[in-house]
Amino acid sequence: MKTQSKILIIYTGGTIGMITDYETGSLKPFDFNHISEEVPELKKIPYQLDTLFFKIPIDSSNVTPETWQKVAGLIVDNYNAYDGFVILHGSDTMAYSASALSFMLRNLSKPVIFTGSQLPIGVIRTDGKENLVTAIEIAGAKEQGKPIVPEVAVYFEYKLYRGNRTTKLNAEHFEAFASFNYPILANAGINIDYNKSKILPPVKEKLELHNKFNTNVAVLSLFPGISKQYIKHFFNTPNLQGVVLHTFGSGNALSKQWFIDELKKAIEKGIVLLNITQCKMGEVIQGRYETSKGLAKIGVISGRDMTLEAAITKMMLVLAEFSEFEAVKKELTRSYCGEIK
């Protein structure tokens, strides 16, 4: 007889955990101790399901690194007792949280599946029930006794994505997420079809938790007409230590000397600059065009095909652990868990 998978569901907040208060007509969080009453389909899943929930649910717009530390801590504390984890989370910042957790949980060998919904679970047309049920199935899925998806992933609307490759695409449709630079990990139809060649292999090393963040970072998104005054004030932000440059095309930026000079001054002050593209698909190739050659020369680091969500969360972690520029550059440009080409 096959041993049941044990899955821990962690509810942080978000639309999926809401039901209608029929006295007031407003939405309120439901008691996750009685989750099977709201989702009776869970009784048919042949897994042991346990739940933990934040006493005060967090709207995903209010998520902070402290939230990630709390979730990662719950996973680490319960790691040996469960075969997989399902994180219920608001969709707005889910890609940031999935990216952060993927970098925090080094040597992960069990599934950590983020999911949520666009409509509350207590609404008739909710997408939450299918998202939750399938995320649980994936979290407990094994082949020859080993988990099929031993990584941090996002499941939404019949598709499973690598967590640190996701971006929220749509605020209205059920298909809320996309992974532009990496194939989906699984597609859920009549069966769940796993794209096994694209899933990270299991590791034998012991799980390591990296949970320190340096939040003295910022994003500089370029636009035509950006002024010297704006750039100068931006880089004079107190305690600024890292900046994700959100550039055009394959990593292109203004080639005007004043712009290059301001970036160079920032780098000389010790501010780390990481270049990623505003394009949804493709990657940064510094030096392909004249407008990016200057960036490479002064020490701007290429983020290649990282998402904004992965770039900013990884930078927070790296800057908390490393201070020397060469060490920071090495860490930002090496792949921790499939976030970069």
Catalytic positions? 15
Helix, strand, or coil (residue 331): helix
User: What are 105's strand-pairing partners?
Assistant: 209
Handedness of CA 307, 313, 316, 321 (dihedral sign): negative
Q: Residues with Cβ < 8 Å from 285, sequence gap 6 or more? A: 250, 251, 292, 302
User: Tokens at residue 35, please?
Assistant: 């989750």
From the CB of residue 160, how many other CB atoms can be counted at a distance below 10 Å? Answer: 27
Identify the residue whose tokens are 């969360």. 313
Backbone phi, psi, residue 215, to 5° = -95, 15
| CA–CA gap between residue 167 and residue 90 (Å, rounded) | 13
User: Tokens at residue 283, please?
Assistant: 């990657």
